[in-house]
Structure 1
Amino acid sequence: MTKRKLLFSFFLLLFLPVFALAQTYTIEQYLNIRSAASPTLSPDGKFIAYLTDITGTNQVWKIGVESGCPEQMTFFDERVQFVSWNPKDKYWILFGKDVGGNERTQLFLLKSDASEIRRLTHKDDIIYNFGAWNNDGTMFAYTSNERDQRYFDVYVMNIKTGHVRLVWQNDGNNSVVAWSPDGKYILASQNRSSFDNDLYLIEYETGKVYNITPHKEQARYFGAKFSKDGRRIYLLSDEGKEFTGIAYIDVPNGKLNYIYTTNWDVETIELSKDGRKIIFVLNVDGYSEVYSLDLITKKTQKLNFPSDGIVGSLRFTSDGNKIVFTYQSPVKNQDIYIYDVLKGTYRQITQSSTAGIPPSSFVKPQLVRFKSFDGLEIPGYLYLPKNAKKDASLPVIVSIHGGPEAQELPRFSALYQYFVNNGYAVYAPNIRGSTGYGKTYASLDNTTKRKDAIRDVSLIPEFLKSTGYIDPSKIVVYGGSYGGYMTLAAVTFYPDLWAAGVDLVGISNFLTFLKNTGAWRQRHRMAEYGDPEKDAEFLREISPFYHVDKIKAPLMIIQGANDPRVPKSESDQIVESIRSRGGIVEYLVFEDEGHGLAKLKNRIKAYKAIVEFLDKYFKNKPKASN
């Protein structure tokens, strides 16, 4: 090789890492990053059925636990919402599917070799919510609002005969949680709000019903599992506690007894096959830590699960020696893993594509906090481009999560990674009203306290400015569902702080929202937001629709036509009002979507439009002068 060629090769190698760091990727590539979720095991423990969006919408796939290639089992244009393998019959898998995002879930049986699909429910305007199999796999319990759109009764279906039996008629928002091992009891939850429910035992043969969680102050009871002998129910609760802990209730009418509590929420529990241990996930500042709790000695042990991310969907194999679970982190798209209980090691089972984007280009966020107007600390995640400098030049997207009873987590977000890779910062806070930080924190935005949460958002620009990275003239607010409402509220009530806003399926008017949302949701949502009759004046005060004249920032609004939660009318009315005043608003409606975008072609169209909108009105603005 000549000296000249050697010098050229040297300089090429020297600058190659710089070129690699500078490379950007298209929004289409990021949206083609795949994930795997909802693992369910065959009764012999040899296979896992799961959901993945490889085809563009979630479908049922199957893979061997030890080896083998993934096999697609369903081939719909519409999304599959859940999947559950029969606990005794390896040949049958249950799944649910709606149409166009309308959430009217229908139930189907799928043969495990994909040779047959049998539809079990046939009323397209009714919701059928799967609950639990009985122990021998001949029947499953579910709820349906067939009798009255407002309420969900409990039914049982025999999969061999197709016979359906109504086992509990009740005017409530009910769901099936579990079925006792001896088949005697069905456990159901009646939800009054996101923070208050009761558990009921239904005697299957007699129909007798026991409220096993009578209480006065609001409390949650969830994640329940029957013990191996069926005499005890283990569950998660925050009754009398600030954080969710592990408790038990003796069947049929024992009292609640705590066996593990700490100053973080326990999120998920799974009972070992021998009934001796509970495996649980602790939410520590959004990150998952996995422990085992010995029910005899009451000792806990931290397990060697992957860290710096989120663990979910714990499932023991039939022999009890392994645990199937999902894992994702800010720099790892979600996949299915298996943990060896005896060895204390884990391995990845599914291998979801990153669409040609090197994982080394993904960035981890910083967990940061700022003090709000009343001294309350607001946690959040700040994503910065690699090699970001404190020169006050970065545009930033403030992403407000939905719910509001939810938590921004250190999950994998293809959208966040796209924006960071293209020179934006992203800040994702957990404003008051978020879960994960105790019962008190989660209730700080209820009804008339809603304005305090909006004030939290209004202080974010000043906090971001204090970091030294952010150009204060290039701050956009973004969110979906309740986060969409917060976006509209931010640009309405604090119009001078934002360069632009992006709202996906957000509430614009609480009075019309509470009137038009799905009948089965109205009472539940009134408990959070307020009564449209008693609180009408306040709801009008905090509804952006009545204050449209204050909006200055350009808005992008995206809506699904079939949305049963936040109906299309919420977006229609504010778009019309903004346009009638000469304001800037771009509006995209998807006729085959509901509360969010489930189909890849629609996500690509929507997010390309968002990128173009931000480039036009936001990113390319001149830097603010000092």
Structure 2
Amino acid sequence: MPDTADADYGVARFLAIEHVDSPTLTPEGRLLFLADTSGTPQVWTADEPGAWPTRLTPHEERVSALAASPADESFVYAMDRGSDERDQLIRYDLATGIERPLTDDPESKHAWGAWGPDGDRIAYTANREADGRFDVFVQEVGGPDARAGDPERVFEGPGGWLNVAAFGPEGRRLVLTKAHSSYDEDLSVLDLDSGDTRTLSDDSEATYSHLHFDGEGGLICVTNRDSDTAYVGRVSLDSGAVTPVAGDDEGSGEPGTEAWDVDALAFDRDAGRLAYAVNEGGYSSLHAGTLAGDADGPELRPVETPAVDGIVQGLTFGPDAERLAYTHTSPTEPYGVRTVAFGGGDGGVAADGTGGETNWTPVGRNGLPDTAFHAPKTVHYETFDDREIPAYWTLPPGVDPADPDEQVPAIVDIHGGPEHQRRPWFYPTKQYFLNRGYAVLEPNVRGSSGYGKAYSHLDDVENRMDSVADVAAGVEWLHGHPAVDDDRIVAYGRSYGGFMVLAAITEYPDLWAAAVDFVGIADFTTFLENTGEWRRSHREAEYGSLSDDYEFLQSISPLSHIDEVRCPLFVQHGANDPRVPVGEAKQVADAVRERGVPVETLIFEDEGHHTTSRENLIEEFEAIADFLDEHV
């Protein structure tokens, strides 16, 4: 087996590995998906498993959402400009290849919602009339030869983020979700004839996602109402009461327990078929069945499903629910689309070989050998209050942990969110740094999702810095690992993870050899003052409010403690970032530079919160690699 420990493949080689996701199936069973083959995500299709795919959308800007019509061979997709997240909606006719804009308001954000049951209308939310308020719009989409109708505002939102979650099967109702925080949502139904809304959620903290009308007076969804972890439930349209259907667990999701979140769901009302995925410590298990019983006691009769080696997301059924498509990835397997065909007498995977999992879009690895890709181990380390923090730990190739003379540098890669979870997805840049000789620790510190609501709340407001202490505890764990060079440890993170990087190098300055901050928060007060108006209240629920917690927010802001920074700092940002404005990068870089600490900045004028073009990504990570080579 070839040894890649000293191989230098270059970051462009890893970044050119295609990312394929977001499958959707047309009424004729045609599979559509997003792929970044051309350098940015565009809509593609493939007629057969492994067939040469056909690109459908011709743009250089990224496509961020994709949904096939339920009635004809067309789809709607969303696209922004310069990664500014102000998505516009476009309809594409598969028969003619004609695409027609549905919206043309580049100053507004249009959030995809749902198709009407007859395929003649769509519903979505947009902040067209007030930046801080999302309203609900319904719009005729027209045909290939007909002009689309104008957006019709059917509901004025209460302010902040609002989402269309489902269109009723009769075309007269919409399901809406209004997020107050990441774990607190209102669920309501809008009557399009009267304009009235009826609230289905209660006063308890809960979330509702993947919503589907079941045809029996209820909504099938993923929720965590009255539970620490999320499950498949049925919400009564009459009373709002929730009945568990599958995946429910009365236990806590705290790390170390066996209670897990359901995090993906597909449901076909006509067939009564349901499929869902459970997040078991970051890895997925796939389940399916047929929904039986009456409205008072829905019961899922399970059917056979294939074992999953990795993570599945974006479950969606095709015509008659005979085929399930989803995105699949694993630590060493790039993102691609797979399908499962259902058959046999019990409706499960066919035993005659006609069913089972099919890798529809096998993604190559640009000639890189298997030995260039490395899977992590799941580890747990103890933190200051005796909690066990889960993390993924990966050593670079060729390292013998028992050899004290073979110590390597380590990157502590902290996820964003904070209500987010690092999972063992395929990360081409992680594989790149592993092949450059860096070990990687990816902790899910308190505040992370995937381990229940209680764990996610452990870092709220006044407990913010406890999560930073969890990062420091991870470094102490690294100090006890014989393969790690204690003097060459790097803090590395994006978005909220960027804040965690800046907080870690100001609160624990002696632990770090260097730091890499992507689009991070330097000062919570300036961040909240300048972030998109529509998301401010949502973020204040997590961090604290400008009106009530101003002094506290200043006290935990890295910029208030910038004199403590000792290590060289790399700062990356996008000028079009609507979430964490680019001023956060500029002020922290200037402050560190004034103190004589080495700082390197990279700000893209044509990017936002995420770097989306491959050309920019290559420049970004080549610069980071050079920075780390110099300072670590």
Q: What TM-score, normalized by structure 2, do the two folds share?
A: 0.92
Deviations 1:28-86 (A, max 9, x none): 101111111111111111x1111100011001111225675311111212111111111
Measured in 1, the distance between the counterparts of 2:598 and 2:362 equals 43
- Partner of residue 255, structure 2: none
Matched, 1:169 2:156: yes
Measured in 1, the distance between the counterparts of 2:493 and 2:579 equals 16
Task: Name the SS for the 1:443 alignment partner.
Answer: helix
Matched, 1:219 2:206: yes
Measured in 2, the distance between the counterparts of 1:367 and 1:436 equals 14
- Partner of residue 70, structure 2: 87
Measured in 1, the distance between the counterparts of 2:303 and 2:491 equals 38
8 Å Cα contact 1:283-1:289 kept in structure 2: yes
Task: Name the SS for the 2:340 alignment partner.
Answer: strand
Task: Name the SS for the 1:409 alignment partner.
Answer: coil
Measured in 1, the distance between the counterparts of 2:51 and 2:334 equals 21
Measured in 1, the distance between the counterparts of 2:141 and 2:108 equals 19
- Partner of residue 269, structure 1: 265
8 Å Cα contact 1:139-1:157 kept in structure 2: yes
8 Å Cα contact 1:36-1:53 kept in structure 2: yes
Q: What's the offset of the Cα at 1:230?
A: 5.5
Deviations 1:341-373 (A, max 9, x none): 122511111122312212342111000001110
Query: Which residue type is aligned with residue 558 of structure 1?
Result: Q
- Partner of residue 432, structure 2: 418
Task: Name the SS for the 1:559 alignment partner.
Answer: strand
8 Å Cα contact 1:291-1:300 kept in structure 2: no
Matched, 1:112 2:113: no
Distance 1:530 1:231, change over 3 A: same
Query: Which residue type is aligned with residue 372 of structure 1?
Result: T
Measured in 2, the distance between the counterparts of 1:97 and 1:321 equals 31
- Partner of residue 103, structure 1: 85
* 1:362 alignment partner, one of 373, 381, 387: 373
- Partner of residue 434, structure 1: 448
Distance 1:301 1:422, change over 3 A: farther
Query: Which residue type is aligned with residue 335 of structure 1?
Result: G
- Partner of residue 561, structure 2: 547
Matched, 1:454 2:468: yes
1:360-509 map, 5 Å? 360-390=371-401, 391=403, 393-509=407-523
Matched, 1:75 2:58: yes
* 2:111 alignment partner, one of 129, 132, 136: 129
- Partner of residue 181, structure 1: 169
Query: Which residue type is aligned with residue 332 of structure 1?
Result: E
- Partner of residue 13, structure 1: none
Matched, 1:255 2:237: no
8 Å Cα contact 2:2-2:371 kept in structure 1: no
8 Å Cα contact 1:273-1:319 kept in structure 2: no
Matched, 1:575 2:581: no
Measured in 2, the distance between the counterparts of 1:143 and 1:359 equals 45
* 1:278 alignment partner, one of 252, 260, 274: 274
8 Å Cα contact 2:6-2:436 kept in structure 1: no
Matched, 1:35 2:22: no
- Partner of residue 283, structure 2: 287
Measured in 2, the distance between the counterparts of 1:416 and 1:348 equals 24
RMSD over aligned CA atoms reads 1.6
Query: Which residue type is aligned with residue 138 of structure 1?
Result: D
Q: What's the offset of the Cα at 1:239?
A: 1.4
Measured in 2, the distance between the counterparts of 1:617 and 1:387 equals 23
8 Å Cα contact 1:178-1:224 kept in structure 2: yes
Matched, 1:609 2:593: no
Measured in 1, the distance between the counterparts of 2:154 and 2:88 equals 20
Q: Alignment length, in residue pairs?
A: 598
- Partner of residue 352, structure 1: 363
Q: For structure 1, which segment, 31-40 or 387-396, has the greater mean C-alpha deviation from structure 2 after superposition?
A: 387-396
Q: For structure 1, which segment, 160-169 or 576-585, has the greater mean C-alpha deviation from structure 2 after superposition?
A: 160-169
Deviations 1:489-548 (A, max 9, x none): 011110000000000000000000000001111001000000122111111111011111
Q: For structure 1, which segment, 105-114 or 556-565, has the greater mean C-alpha deviation from structure 2 after superposition?
A: 105-114
Matched, 1:335 2:322: no
Measured in 2, the distance between the counterparts of 1:96 and 1:590 equals 22
8 Å Cα contact 2:5-2:396 kept in structure 1: no
Q: What's the offset of the Cα at 1:301?
A: 4.2
Measured in 2, the distance between the counterparts of 1:506 and 1:20 equals 33
Measured in 2, the distance between the counterparts of 1:201 and 1:399 equals 41
Q: What's the offset of the Cα at 1:113?
A: 4.8
* 2:33 alignment partner, one of 50, 54, 61: 50
Matched, 1:326 2:327: yes
Q: What's the offset of the Cα at 1:308?
A: 3.1
Q: What's the offset of the Cα at 1:252?
A: 4.0
Distance 1:544 1:347, change over 3 A: same
Distance 1:114 1:384, change over 3 A: farther
- Partner of residue 146, structure 1: 128
Residue segments in structure 1 that go unaligned for 5+ positions in a row: 1-16, 619-626
Query: Which residue type is aligned with residue 155 of structure 1?
Result: F
Measured in 2, the distance between the counterparts of 1:468 and 1:340 equals 48
Measured in 2, the distance between the counterparts of 1:432 and 1:302 equals 36
Distance 1:582 1:124, change over 3 A: same
Measured in 1, the distance between the counterparts of 2:260 and 2:360 equals 30
8 Å Cα contact 2:266-2:315 kept in structure 1: yes
Q: What's the offset of the Cα at 1:278?
A: 2.0
Query: Which residue type is aligned with residue 84 of structure 1?
Result: A
Distance 1:112 1:455, change over 3 A: same
Task: Name the SS for the 2:478 alignment partner.
Answer: helix
- Partner of residue 597, structure 1: 611
Measured in 1, the distance between the counterparts of 2:8 and 2:376 equals 19
Query: Which residue type is aligned with residue 154 of structure 2?
Result: V
- Partner of residue 575, structure 2: 561
8 Å Cα contact 1:233-1:249 kept in structure 2: yes
* 2:225 alignment partner, one of 226, 239, 242: 239
Measured in 2, the distance between the counterparts of 1:478 and 1:114 equals 47
8 Å Cα contact 2:323-2:339 kept in structure 1: yes
Higher relative CO (CA 8 A, sep ≥ 6), structure 1 or 2? 2
Measured in 1, the distance between the counterparts of 2:185 and 2:336 equals 32
Q: For structure 1, which segment, 525-534 or 352-361, has the greater mean C-alpha deviation from structure 2 after superposition?
A: 352-361
Measured in 2, the distance between the counterparts of 1:500 and 1:440 equals 33
Task: Name the SS for the 1:64 alignment partner.
Answer: coil
Deviations 1:148-204 (A, max 9, x none): 111111110011241332111122321000011111211010111111001110111
- Partner of residue 195, structure 2: 207
Measured in 1, the distance between the counterparts of 2:534 and 2:55 equals 34
Q: What's the offset of the Cα at 1:253?
A: 3.7
Measured in 2, the distance between the counterparts of 1:292 and 1:324 equals 13
**After the TM superposition, which segments of 4 or more aligned residues of structure 1 sit over 6 Å from their partners?**
none
Q: What TM-score, normalized by structure 1, do the two folds share?
A: 0.93
